[in-house]
Amino acid sequence: MPQAVPLSWYLALSAVLFTLGVAGFLFRRNIVTMFMSIELMLNAVNLTFVVISYRLRQVDGQIFTFFVMVVAAAEAAVGLAIILTVFKNRATLQVDDLSTMKD
Amino acid sequence: MDPILFLIFAAIAVLCGINVVLQTHPISSALSLVGVMASLAVLYLLLGAQFLAAAQVIVYAGAIMVLFIFVIMLLNTGRERRTRGSFLGRLLGPPLLVILLGSVTFVILRTAPRDAGVRFGTYTGGTVESFGRALFTTYLWPFEIASILVLIAIVGAVALAYKEID
Amino acid sequence: MNYLLLAAIKAAVVAGVLLLTLLYLQWVERKVIAHIQVRLGPHRVGPHGLLQPIADTLKLLTKEDLLPPGVNRFYFILAPFLAISLSLVSIAVIPFGPDVHMAGVRTSLQLADLNIGVVFVLAISSLTVYGVVLAGWSSNSKYPLLGALRSSAQMISYELPLGMAVASVLLVSNSLSLRKIVETQSGFYGGFFPAWNLFRLPFPQVFGFVIFLIAVFAETNRVPFDLPEAESELVAGFHTEYSSMKFAGFFMSEYANMITVTCMATALFLGGWLPLWPVSLGSNYAPAAVFGAAGAIAIYHGLHPARKRDRRSLQVVGALLCAAGALFLIPAIRTLVEPLFWFLAKTGLLLLLFIWVRGTLPRFRYDQLMRFGWSFLFPVAVANLMITALLVALVG
């Protein structure tokens, strides 16, 4: 076992998490779960940013991650408010039933 | 010590990630996502991003996911209904995902820098001082715009979900 | 000494003292509230009710451990687990004292001096919401769910003024490490006035301290913010369906949270282990003097007791207090016990404040509570932060 963890392992983990996020987004039908898969994808990208920040010995990658977190927070707030409003009108969270504009 | 810690927390992250996708009840998915975020926070610590690790727990695991769980509890729709997806989708989907994962991993393993890997403690630039200094000098403009963005999001969320108490 | 062995010993000592304190904090609370309400409190089980917490623990252990039908079993069992383990973790970064030399071992009276200590405690406190939420949701019953939703909304809302009050302290202290924050509060103005953050120029953090205290009352679900677990309102809130050891877990986690936040308030605002007046004016003898005076008062009242049977117990207590005072005069362990005395005295006074407020104030209604947090406390906290920032920028 090497004493240091190779960078490619971290990037591979990030790729796996991103693919899981894509899988969740495409295969799940509950809109909140799809939203959570988006958050999973964002987290995977955050990990990549931090790894590259480590590699380049600069803090800029972490600042990008920070901004991604801020934007994700704003997005979660507005997105969940939209989901609440949609639920009030349609009483369902299944994306298949929400896909047309008529009732 | 580093590889062991990495493997443990990477395994937790991947297992929780799989759980997010596979669980039928949204609350279980949300709690598994909290597990992913917590293990990612530990990985950030291993990469020397101390402030970011704490911010990840405070912002993501402690605020955003609580918001998700609130909304799921309020809506309370229960388990997800299995719908008849398209046959073509269910046939082609998993192989295409495996191809995606495989190609990305191949590119990473081929092009990742092969020099010294990640060792805990070698990068000490993730302290709050250096983070704050960069944030308030080089990235001041995005910082201010991000704060306006959050304000817009707050106002928008309240405007969308506000209910008059009559 | 081997680093791991030393860390294990320190962790064991802190854990043991903490658990003992949890147990007897409950006794102190019941006695103090009883005397505020002109009654006696527990006084039958053991002398002056001192064995009451042990009796309560035995009772909780031997009660039937119900798992109500229809609950989500995994989260039901996970919730108190999460609550108590998160509450106990944040003690690790609290500095109880400076570096000490004892028997050839040099160590600091702190389990882990993280250089992001303050943010670590904030992070753990934002995770404690999950214990409450999971408890309420998994109980599959309406009172716990309502109590959990209200409690978690309250805890999240009051995290904001808490963070702002802490941020004002960080502006003045320039570091996130709790040890460094306490160390920057050493020094005395004019040779006699302590430079704690509460009194620190350019802007004494009095408002910050009050905001912090109010916010942690809400964070720990204590009166006057304890609507989510009030008996007359919501049966017992989010821990209605819990019995035996799982209930004990929530109970312990509430007291552990109280202890953690008072330790944080002491470290951030009241100067941690630093004495109230400088050593040159004799603060070395303050602990011995305090204990000796308390012992003398106890012995005096033991000689002329109000109740006949208190004669012996008061004299015994007086003798013990005088012995404890004499302990502070031994120079060999003085470097260890003196900072501990100041830290524990300040923390103890804040805990007494918590208990005093519980015995005195009525509780807020839920909408009053939320309105207070968002419409009053948060703007005041922001204003405090801005004034502190302005003055630090102008002066520093």
Interval B104-162: pLDDT, tens = 989 988 888 777 777 887 888 888 889 999 999 999 999 999 999 999 999 999 998 88
In a domain? residue A78 = yes
Mutate to test the interface with A, among B16, B18, B47 (most CBs of A within 10 A): B47
Sort out which chain B residues have CB atoms less than 8 A from A76's CB and list them: 64, 67-68
- DSSP codes joined into one string, C307-372: STTHHHHHHHHHHHHHHHHHHTT-GGGHHHHHHHHHHHHHHHHHHHHHHHHHHHPPPPPHHHHHHI
Domain count, chain A: 1
Closest Cα in chain B to A32: B26
Closest Cα in chain A to B83: A29
3-class SS at C108? Answer: strand
pLDDT band of residue B164 (cuts 50, 70, 90) is: low
Give C 302-361 residues with CB within 8 A of chain B. Answer: none
CATH label of the domain that carries residue A72: 1.10.287.3510
User: What confidence score (pLDDT) does residue A29 get?
Assistant: 85
Q: Which of B3, B10, B149 sits opposite A71 (nearest CB)?
A: B149
Contact C275, C195 (CB under 8 A): no
User: What confidence score (pLDDT) does residue B7 get?
Assistant: 94
Domain that holds residue A56: 7-98
pLDDT tens, residue by residue, C261-288: 999 999 999 988 888 888 887 778 888 8
- DSSP codes joined into one string, C30-62: HHHHHHHTTS--S-TTTGGGTTHHHHHHHHHHH
User: What confidence score (pLDDT) does residue B118 get?
Assistant: 79
Sort out which chain C residues have CB atoms less than 8 A from B74's CB and list them: 149
> Per mean pLDDT, which of A68-77, C184-193, C228-237, C300-309 is the most reliable?
A68-77
The pTM assigned to this predicted structure is 0.91
Calpha distance B150→C130 (Å, rounded): 24
More confident residue, B83 or A47: A47
Q: Does the beta-carbon distance from B153 to A43 stay under 8 Å?
A: no
Contact A82, A31 (CB under 8 A): no
Mutate to test the interface with C, among B39, B77, B128 (most CBs of C within 10 A): B128
Sort out which chain C residues have CB atoms less than 8 A from B62's CB and list them: 123, 126-127, 129
Residue C257: pLDDT above 60?
yes
Calpha distance A72→A4 (Å, rounded): 32
Q: What is the mean pLDDT of residues C295-301?
A: 88
Nearest CA to B26 among C4, C153, A39? A39
pLDDT band of residue A103 (cuts 50, 70, 90) is: low
In a domain? residue C71 = yes
3-class SS at B84? Answer: coil
pLDDT tens, residue by residue, C102-132: 777 788 888 888 889 999 999 999 999 998 8
Closest Cα in chain B to A56: B123
User: What confidence score (pLDDT) does residue A73 get?
Assistant: 94
3-class SS at C80? Answer: helix
Q: What is the mean pLDDT of residues C199-210?
A: 89
Closest Cα in chain B to C118: B54
User: What confidence score (pLDDT) does residue A77 get?
Assistant: 93
- So what's the ipTM on this one? 0.91
Q: Going by beta carbons, is chain C in contact with chain A, meaning 3 or more pairs sit under 8 Å apart?
A: no
User: What confidence score (pLDDT) does residue B165 get?
Assistant: 58
In a domain? residue A2 = no
The H or E element spanning position B163 is: none
Calpha distance C73→C139 (Å, rounded): 9
Calpha distance C79→C71 (Å, rounded): 12
pLDDT tens, residue by residue, C162-199: 999 999 999 998 889 999 999 998 888 887 788 888 88
Residue A15: pLDDT above 70?
yes
Provide the shortest C-alpha distance from residue B97 to chain A (in Å): 7
More confident residue, C311 or B57: B57
Sort out which chain B residues have CB atoms less than 8 A from A5's CB and list them: 2-3, 6, 46, 117-119
Sort out which chain B residues have CB atoms less than 8 A from A8's CB and list them: 108-109, 112
- DSSP codes joined into one string, A19-78: HHHHHHHHH--BHHHHHHHHHHHHHHHHHHHHHHHHHHT-SHHHHHHHHHHHHHHHHHHH
> B interface toward C at CB cutoff 8 Å?
27, 31, 34, 50-51, 53-55, 57-58, 61-63, 66, 69-70, 73-74, 127-128
Q: Does the beta-carbon distance from A2 to B75 stay under 8 Å?
A: no
CA distances from B74 to C89, C146, C248, C296 (A): 30, 10, 28, 60
pLDDT band of residue C305 (cuts 50, 70, 90) is: confident
User: What confidence score (pLDDT) does residue C346 get?
Assistant: 94
Provide the shortest C-alpha distance from residue A103 to chain B (in Å): 19
Domain count, chain C: 1
Q: Going by beta carbons, is chain B in contact with chain C, meaning 3 or more pairs sit under 8 Å apart?
A: yes
Nearest CA to C252 among C92, C30, C48, C24? C24
The percentage of chain C sitting over the pLDDT mark of 70, rounded to a whole number, equals: 98
CA distances from C317 to A32, C148, C340 (A): 61, 43, 21
User: What confidence score (pLDDT) does residue C193 get?
Assistant: 84
Residue B9: pLDDT above 80?
yes
Sort out which chain A residues have CB atoms less than 8 A from B43's CB and list them: 10, 13, 47, 50
* Cα C292 to the center of its chain, rounded Å: 26
Q: Can you give the residue ranges of every domain in chain B? A: 1-78, 127-166
pLDDT band of residue C231 (cuts 50, 70, 90) is: low
In a domain? residue C219 = yes
Q: What is the mean pLDDT of residues B71-94?
A: 78
In a domain? residue A60 = yes
Sort out which chain B residues have CB atoms less than 8 A from C118's CB and list them: none
Q: How high is the mean pLDDT of chain C?
A: 87
Which runs of E-coded beta strand occur in chain C?
97-102, 105-109, 188-189, 193-194
Q: What is the mean pLDDT of residues C275-304?
A: 85
Q: Does the beta-carbon distance from A12 to B109 stay under 8 Å?
A: yes
Closest Cα in chain B to C79: B31
User: Which class for C194: exposed (0-12), middle (13-18), buried (19 or more C-beta within 10 A)?
Assistant: buried
Q: Does the beta-carbon distance from B54 to C133 stay under 8 Å?
A: no
pLDDT tens, residue by residue, C61-74: 888 877 888 888 88
User: What confidence score (pLDDT) does residue C44 get?
Assistant: 84
Q: Does the beta-carbon distance from A16 to B14 stay under 8 Å?
A: yes
CA distances from C300 to B48, B60, C49, C287, C308 (A): 60, 58, 22, 20, 14
In a domain? residue C25 = no
pLDDT band of residue C245 (cuts 50, 70, 90) is: confident
pLDDT band of residue A11 (cuts 50, 70, 90) is: very high
Computed on alpha carbons and rounded to an integer, the radius of gyration of chain A in Å comes to 18
Closest Cα in chain A to B148: A74
Q: How many CB pairs under 8 A join B and C?
A: 55
Nearest CA to C250 among C261, C240, C239? C239
User: What confidence score (pLDDT) does residue B148 get?
Assistant: 96
CATH number of B1-78: 1.20.120.1200
Q: What is the mean pLDDT of residues A45-70?
A: 93
User: What confidence score (pLDDT) does residue A2 get?
Assistant: 57
Q: Which tokens hold the place of C254? A: 């509430």
Q: Does the beta-carbon distance from B40 to A30 stay under 8 Å?
A: no
For residue C356, which amino acid is it?
Answer: W
In a domain? residue A1 = no
Q: Alpha-carbon torsion C320, C321, C326, C332, what sign?
A: positive
Q: Does the beta-carbon distance from B139 to A63 stay under 8 Å?
A: yes
In a domain? residue C61 = yes
Domain that holds residue C238: 56-272+369-395
- Give the residues across from B118 on adjacent strands: A5
